[in-house]
Structure 1
Amino acid sequence: MDLINTQVQAILGPQTWEEVSLIADICTKNQIPIFSFADTIPEWTTEKWPFLLGASHDNFAQMKAIAAIVQSWNWHQVTVIHEDVGSWTNGVMPYLHDSLREIGAEVRQFVGLSSFASSDSLSRELKNLESEQCRVFVVHLSLPLAVRLFEMAKKLKMMEKDYVWITTHHITSLVHSIDASIISSMRGIVGVKSYFSETGTRFQDFSSRFRKRFRRENPEEENSEPGIYAVQAYDAIWTIARALKGSKRRNQELLEKVLQTDFHGLSGKVQFNNHKMAPTQMFQIINVVGKSYRELGFWSSGLGFSETIGKHATYSPLMNDLEQVLWPGGPRYTPRGWTEFTRKKPLLVGVPAKSGYKEYVKVENDQSRKETSFDGLAIQIFNATVRRLPFYLPYEFVAFNDISYDNLVDQIGKKFDAVVGDVAIVASRYSHVEFSHPFSETGLMLVVPARSSNKEWSFIKPFTKSMWASITVITIYNGFVVWLIERHAHPELRGSMLHQIGIMLWLSFNTLFSLQGGKLHSNLSRMSVVVWLFVALVVIQTYTANLTSMLTVQRLEPTVTSVEELLESNAAVGYCSGSYLEKYLVEVLRFPRDNVKHYASAEDYAEGFNKKEIAAAFIGTPLAKIFLAKFCKKFIAAGPTFNIGGFGFAFPRGSPLLASINEALLKVSENGTLAQLENNYIGVLQKCQDKEEENPSLSPNGFRALFIITGGTSTIALVIYIFCIASSFSGLTTIRGLMFIIIKHWCYQSKRFSRRVSNVESLGNSSPQHAPNQLSQV
């Protein structure tokens, strides 16, 4: 109020939202512009307090820079330590959370510290963080609180190997002003610093005057270089001066002049947008080394990291192209970002010792050697996955003897660091654990007893419809050819049209079973019948063999076809002991709790079916296939597969190992190792199912050559017969002509002979004395 009473033109300086909110209302009522250097100014303040202006650049972009640092080293989780102040918690933290999610990382937890936290409180919070696996910390605190935090972290040996500390510009931009004795406790941190150019005559002039005055007023301070806040304050004063130059009043007109400001100041572009300074697009990345710090490079919004800035700068999305980072503890290799397991402290992996399916998990105790062996598909897949990790991970299997899988999962983070086995991925278990990608098929199958299928029409199944049609056509055709050839030699093949058709059909199919060589008159019909009989024998033998195979192999049908049928009949159903299925069957599928019974193994299921205790069983797809393979002739799957479950490896929620495990598991799947392991452990069981596959009905494709031979033979016989008939008809006409000529000639000669005989007789009667001479001449 004293400042207002003295008729000040503007007020500069509040650095926190809490300070701003105390005086913003008063300044608005008196129409005095107030320049705030707080990080966050809510959107709603524009209407409520129009004279409130943000004098510092919008630093939300720095959260993108921090996310880019996290992405550069492939860290997937971070812990955020922030000052427990409303404006910081609600203003900046959501942007950091969203920026990390965009690059596939997440905040493991937010840790809020009071601005007046005691040493004991800081120690307690840091010890809690030390017990967690995550080792990447993003620190967003005021400088005094940050200094105390790092001093305590150094005492607790948390500024050593495998720890990562990333600081926001509130700390990093003021590192140059920290005493050398204090900065040594911050060795190894990487920070984001607000960038402003330190070249140019304007800055050099300002820096010279600032250092002189600062040394005069603070002779005990070692460093007198101007920081980002000094530069921003200088630009704010210049903004007010430029606005007052064109205005004689301090009310709305002055505010409008300020909002129209547009010039290039020492801190960068000075221009207001919605009462806030334009956002910063560039930050400097520094690394604290020894008692000072070194500049690694720059990060530019939308471009990435670079060693320099300007037209000739080259950008990269990762920090790898910048100078080598010196991490806490001195190592030059990049920390993993989570606590490292060692041979003395390996990853403890819980394994269900009472799994009902030894193909997936097999735990055996050797009492003589006092050793426990672990085997099975799930165990071997985990072994193969760990071998594909880009780092060494010592681990140790520990048997869990409780039958409940939910209790096993509950031990993660307490007794175990992970769980491996036939553990289903269920949403209810995600409250405190996370799962890897499934390494088995997902789904839930309904298994019921099987019964033999109806065989009344089995006799037609050996051949397809097209095969039966082909046999009918070729048989009738061959019968027609034989009938046509033999009809002139056999009177019984002639008669009325209906009679001849019946005889032809009878003759066609009769040749399938007898040669009838003695009854056939023509060699052509015999040739046709012999070839067709050979083909018929092959067809009949093939039909007999396929029909025998079909009748021998048992056809199975489910006794129950759907869940609705089970519910309507009030039937009892079974599920695997210790699994999540009881809750699913009761709450989702609506089975009465009394009708739901649990069984421990495949043999127990079979016994329950045999004793009529249950009418069906709900089993996860991977285990159901093993069960059906063991009892392939007694049980069968029915209905649709329910899309739930699948087996996966369980880890504590937020485990930094999970991303690496998922990547390694994908490699195991893609290189064929997963398929090979499945074949070794459960592939042999598929043979039983293979035997139950139906024999396919035979089609004409396999008999095409035989049909062509017999059809061709009959066609040749038919052609020869027709040719012979035609030839015989032509020869008969010629013979008849010759016979007519011969007969005509014979008649002529007979008549001539008769005349001669009659002449001789007449001469003998008239002159007997000349008779001897006449007779001698004849």
Structure 2
Amino acid sequence: MNAFPPFHYFLLAILLLIAVKAPTNRSTEITKNSHARRVIGAIIDSTSRIGKEQKVALEMAMEDFCEFSNQSFLLQIEDSHGEPIRAGLAAIALIKSHHVQLILGPCTWEEASLVADIGNKNQIPVLSFADVTPNWAIEQWPFLVQASPNQHGQMKAIAAIVKSWEWHQVTMIYEDTDSSVNGVLPHLFDALREAGVRIIHHLSLGPLTTTNSLSKELERLQRGQCRIFVVNLSFLLAIRLFEKANKMKMMENGYVWITTNSMTSLVHSIDASIISYMQGVIGVRSYFPENEPHFQDFYFKFCRKFALKYPEEKNHELGIFALQAYDALWSVCLAMMESNKVGQQLLDKILLSDFQGLSGRFQFFNKKLAPGQIFQIINMIGKSYQELGFWSSKLGFSKTIAENVTYNSSMRNLGQVIWPGGPWYTPKGWTLSTTAEPLRIGVPTRSLFKNYVNVEYDLLENKSLFSGFSIDLFKATAEQLPFYLPYNFYPFNGTYDALVEQIHLKKFDAVVGDVAIVANRYKHAEFTHPYTESGLVMIVPVQSKTCNKAWLFLKPYTNAMWVLIGAINVYNGLVVWFIERHYWPELKGSALNQMITLLCLAFTTLFSLHGKKLHSSLSRMTMVAWIFMALVIMQIYTANLTTMLTVQQLEPTVNDIETLQKSNAIVGCSRAAFVGKYLVEVLGFNPKNIKNYTSPDEYAEDLINREIAAIFLEISVAKLFLARYCKGFTTAGPVYKVGGYGFAFPKGSPLLPSIIEALLKVFESGKLRELENNMLASQVCMEVESYDEIPSLNTNSFLVLFILTGGTSTMVLVIYIFHLDNYSMLVHKTIWRLMLAVIRHWSHGKKWFLRRVNNARISNTTETIQL
């Protein structure tokens, strides 16, 4: 905005015709008269409480400064009666008739804009008390200065209050003036947006708003859902609003009213009859130090003078507006005392003001008074109000303003607040509309697993039927709400992204189903907490660990065990042969024959040699221990091998996605889910290698036929898939973190916090687990437990057995040897015979080999001659 509102054009044209047109001559005249006296002009509204306080404060400021400086100043005050045209005429009179060097006031932007233009054309600085001065106005009128704090800090305080109680939506009630529309609302909107709060409705009121129209507007608000109202109205209009709201029972339980400085800073002037229908209102007002001696002295003098000047006013206390006027006049007097300059020089001197005034630090930034950093929070109670605490823009909330005080980010720490209607509990800030229709809840029809969402059409009743885990969970959540929530389900045959987008398009009020919480869907809606596990898993076929392995028969025992079995058998056979060799022809003959017989004896003991044929008791003793060991080992071997072949040990066909990508394998995912995009953009799969499916049976069939190597599912539906096809598939690889399933609602929905709280109650009551168990139990194939691989048995398991049979054979051998008379002769003879037999067989073998070679040569020669 860079020009006047339309209704000001006509007024400005008239005033400019009356105004002085020669600023240079006017400046010269002022300079000449300034040596005789210094004249300061002021424009106030004597019909308002603010104007009355300002007039008394300005007069006191002039008296105090003249006494302080011992210099002569003249204060000329004009009355605008709150009308812009009168404010403009007052400015002309001050300049033309009273030759003022500067103008203070007025209080509203509508008046200040006219005065600023007149002052600028005459090079007269104007210090406006309006709460808002647009930036364009300061550029257009260089002699305009805002002598009241910026509203941005106050709006941040209101946003902090709303955020403290976890309210998400507010209704703004403001006065239809330029200052509210162009100043207050943008600041409040920005502050609330930073706090995550939305202004969902605006109610504009004007001074000419009738009682009938006010009632209609409040009835419209009463029918809505939002119960948090931020009021930025002038004092008298705000009084009318609360009086009417009280009659309409809008000052009762469930409602929250927050007022801004324009109303709250005048609560000291309200009598008990008016406060009676403002019970529970929260107010924000500018803070000023009341404990300093200078303020205390000024306070008592002000009350006395105000009572004498305005006896019709019942309350004589002062507010921030009086203190701001007092400080502004002091800054002007200080500038004029130090310099006789006028116009731009005087303005420059004023802008350098920096002192501790009654209202706080008085200092200008960019031709605006430094914004307030501290605000007081009050609560209307009984016949007056209670001071709850303070809010600082840098530190937060505190109960007092002092050193070493504790600050908090939430207003809850200030103590108990009395809300409208007197409840001790905090209002939730919204309610169901009295005329609202049931919620329109969209439900997906493309759910891969009907256990979650199943939509069927009943031809007899001509309606859709909704069932499944998600539907049952939402119904259980609605039952936990502290109020009745009407709703209807509506089928949606489209993608899940398109379904969530319907909320943003206001075709659905919510979405219930197996809808994953992903980032791109937050553009259109907000979600509850996930009610399923979060994650994406890979499912692949399984294969046996033991099938088709050539050396499976060796698996029951370890390699060391097989070596020990062979060694103990050879040793036992050698002992039996050594003892029985003279009694059995089979144990005699050549050395080669005896070696072969010895090996056969070692491994066929149970079948080729029986205990009753043994002649020596010592060999029978060895055979008993040997047979006992053999029986035990054979039985355990048979049992372990049977177990390995009977119990199916399975392993995944693929262990990681890298294997899939290297082999260029085809993988599957749901057509309606976000998984396909995740596989391409995050996991790096080729889009051509991704196949979409619409049913779990198609998944299973293609996995079994090896048309696809793996499928990717959310954990929640992966459990259902494995429960249905538990014997053929398993999960493999890591779990990829993605959002679980949640219910979707519009952004900033006042219903969402209550739904989340109710959903948590369902979690904590065990109802969610019960629904999950029922869903999984409904699957025909129960999930198979995973078995660890059956280990091979080692020597430690048979150590005692080997010691028994080996020790027995050794003992028998020792006894037998020491009972032989011809021990030495027998040993040498036996060794010699074995050596001769080996040499003889080696010689015969060599002759036979040479004879075969010669025969082959003769045969080849004969064939060559014939050819």
Give the TM-score of the pair, scaled to structure 1: 0.70
- Is 2:634 aligned against 1:544? no
- Is 2:285 aligned against 1:193? yes
The match for 1:297 among 384, 388, 401 is 388
Residue aligning to 1:488: 578
Q: 2:190 is matched by which residue type in structure 1? A: P
- Structure 1 contact 361–377 (Cα < 8 Å) conserved: yes
CA offsets, 1:677-708, max 9 Å, x none?
A: 322321564963416x46623243xx666322
- Mapped to 2, the partners of 1:727 and 1:12 lie a distance apart of 136
- Mapped to 2, the partners of 1:162 and 1:154 lie a distance apart of 13
- Mapped to 2, the partners of 1:401 and 1:443 lie a distance apart of 27
- Is 2:793 aligned against 1:697? no
Q: Percent identity?
A: 41
CA offsets, 1:38-81, max 9 Å, x none?
A: 65789999999998766445665544543443355343443445
- Mapped to 1, the partners of 2:435 and 2:777 lie a distance apart of 35
**Count of matched residue pairs:** 714
Post-superposition offset of 1:27:
8.6
CA RMSD after TM alignment: 6.0
In structure 2, relative to structure 1, the CA distance for the partners of 1:288 and 1:597 (3 Å cut) is same
Residue aligning to 2:801: 710
The within-5 A match list for 1:606-621 is 620-621=714-715
Worse overlay, 455-464 or 168-177: 455-464
Q: 1:530 is matched by which residue type in structure 2? A: I
- Mapped to 1, the partners of 2:422 and 2:278 lie a distance apart of 12
Residue aligning to 1:97: 193
Residue aligning to 1:535: 632
Q: 1:654 is matched by which residue type in structure 2? A: G
- Is 2:354 aligned against 1:261? yes
- Is 2:488 aligned against 1:398? yes
CA offsets, 1:226-284, max 9 Å, x none?
A: 32111012122223434555555567698568636333x32234456787656645432
Helix, strand or coil for the counterpart of 1:85?
helix
Residue aligning to 1:85: 181
- Mapped to 1, the partners of 2:704 and 2:284 lie a distance apart of 71
Post-superposition offset of 1:298:
1.5
Helix, strand or coil for the counterpart of 2:257?
strand
Post-superposition offset of 1:163:
1.9
The match for 1:479 among 546, 569, 580 is 569
The match for 1:165 among 243, 253, 257 is 257
Residue aligning to 2:559: 469
Q: 1:469 is matched by which residue type in structure 2? A: N
Helix, strand or coil for the counterpart of 1:193?
strand
In structure 2, relative to structure 1, the CA distance for the partners of 1:75 and 1:686 (3 Å cut) is farther
In structure 2, relative to structure 1, the CA distance for the partners of 1:328 and 1:451 (3 Å cut) is closer
Post-superposition offset of 1:468:
2.4
- Mapped to 1, the partners of 2:229 and 2:261 lie a distance apart of 15
- Mapped to 2, the partners of 1:213 and 1:60 lie a distance apart of 34
CA offsets, 1:140-186, max 9 Å, x none?
A: 45556655665676677644442212122233113345688876765
Residue aligning to 2:38: none
The match for 1:656 among 746, 750, 773 is 750
Helix, strand or coil for the counterpart of 2:226?
coil
- Mapped to 1, the partners of 2:755 and 2:261 lie a distance apart of 34
- Mapped to 1, the partners of 2:118 and 2:710 lie a distance apart of 76
- Mapped to 1, the partners of 2:714 and 2:564 lie a distance apart of 53
The match for 2:768 among 674, 678, 695 is 674
Helix, strand or coil for the counterpart of 2:578?
coil
In structure 2, relative to structure 1, the CA distance for the partners of 1:725 and 1:78 (3 Å cut) is farther
In structure 2, relative to structure 1, the CA distance for the partners of 1:222 and 1:698 (3 Å cut) is same
Post-superposition offset of 1:192:
1.0
- Mapped to 2, the partners of 1:328 and 1:633 lie a distance apart of 64
The within-5 A match list for 1:219-368 is 223-247=315-339, 249=341, 255=348, 259=352, 261-263=354-356, 265-270=357-362, 280-288=372-380, 293-301=384-392, 319=411, 325-329=417-421, 331=423, 333-340=425-432, 357-361=449-453
- Mapped to 2, the partners of 1:256 and 1:285 lie a distance apart of 35
- Is 2:611 aligned against 1:522? no
- Structure 2 contact 442–491 (Cα < 8 Å) conserved: no
Worse overlay, 28-37 or 607-616: 607-616
Post-superposition offset of 1:435:
1.5
- Mapped to 1, the partners of 2:522 and 2:341 lie a distance apart of 63
- Is 2:536 aligned against 1:422? no
- Structure 2 contact 336–346 (Cα < 8 Å) conserved: no
- Structure 1 contact 462–547 (Cα < 8 Å) conserved: no
Q: 1:423 is matched by which residue type in structure 2? A: V
- Structure 2 contact 138–367 (Cα < 8 Å) conserved: yes
The match for 1:377 among 457, 469, 476 is 469
In structure 2, relative to structure 1, the CA distance for the partners of 1:398 and 1:486 (3 Å cut) is same
In structure 2, relative to structure 1, the CA distance for the partners of 1:258 and 1:347 (3 Å cut) is closer
- Mapped to 1, the partners of 2:596 and 2:363 lie a distance apart of 108
- Mapped to 1, the partners of 2:511 and 2:324 lie a distance apart of 54
Post-superposition offset of 1:394:
2.7
In structure 2, relative to structure 1, the CA distance for the partners of 1:540 and 1:418 (3 Å cut) is same
In structure 2, relative to structure 1, the CA distance for the partners of 1:162 and 1:415 (3 Å cut) is farther
Helix, strand or coil for the counterpart of 1:191?
strand
- Structure 1 contact 69–318 (Cα < 8 Å) conserved: yes
- Is 2:437 aligned against 1:437? no
- Mapped to 2, the partners of 1:352 and 1:603 lie a distance apart of 19
- Structure 2 contact 153–373 (Cα < 8 Å) conserved: yes
- Structure 2 contact 580–619 (Cα < 8 Å) conserved: no
In structure 2, relative to structure 1, the CA distance for the partners of 1:718 and 1:45 (3 Å cut) is farther
- Structure 1 contact 535–707 (Cα < 8 Å) conserved: no
The match for 1:688 among 776, 782, 785 is 782
Worse overlay, 509-518 or 137-146: 509-518
- Mapped to 1, the partners of 2:596 and 2:345 lie a distance apart of 117
Helix, strand or coil for the counterpart of 2:579?
coil
- Segments of 5+ residues of structure 1 without an aligned counterpart are 734-778
In structure 2, relative to structure 1, the CA distance for the partners of 1:512 and 1:316 (3 Å cut) is farther
- Mapped to 2, the partners of 1:216 and 1:556 lie a distance apart of 96
Residue aligning to 1:740: none
- Mapped to 2, the partners of 1:274 and 1:496 lie a distance apart of 123
Worse overlay, 511-520 or 170-179: 511-520
Give the TM-score of the pair, scaled to structure 2: 0.64
Post-superposition offset of 1:655:
1.9
CA offsets, 1:354-375, max 9 Å, x none?
A: 9664533467999999999976
- Mapped to 1, the partners of 2:799 and 2:137 lie a distance apart of 94
CA offsets, 1:76-102, max 9 Å, x none?
A: 44344566533334445423432x24x
- Mapped to 2, the partners of 1:308 and 1:335 lie a distance apart of 26
Helix, strand or coil for the counterpart of 2:782?
helix
In structure 2, relative to structure 1, the CA distance for the partners of 1:271 and 1:138 (3 Å cut) is same
Post-superposition offset of 1:439:
0.9
- Structure 1 contact 574–616 (Cα < 8 Å) conserved: no
- Structure 1 contact 443–643 (Cα < 8 Å) conserved: yes
- Mapped to 2, the partners of 1:563 and 1:79 lie a distance apart of 58
The within-5 A match list for 1:60-71 is 60-71=152-163
- Mapped to 2, the partners of 1:147 and 1:398 lie a distance apart of 42
Helix, strand or coil for the counterpart of 2:427?
coil
Residue aligning to 2:81: none
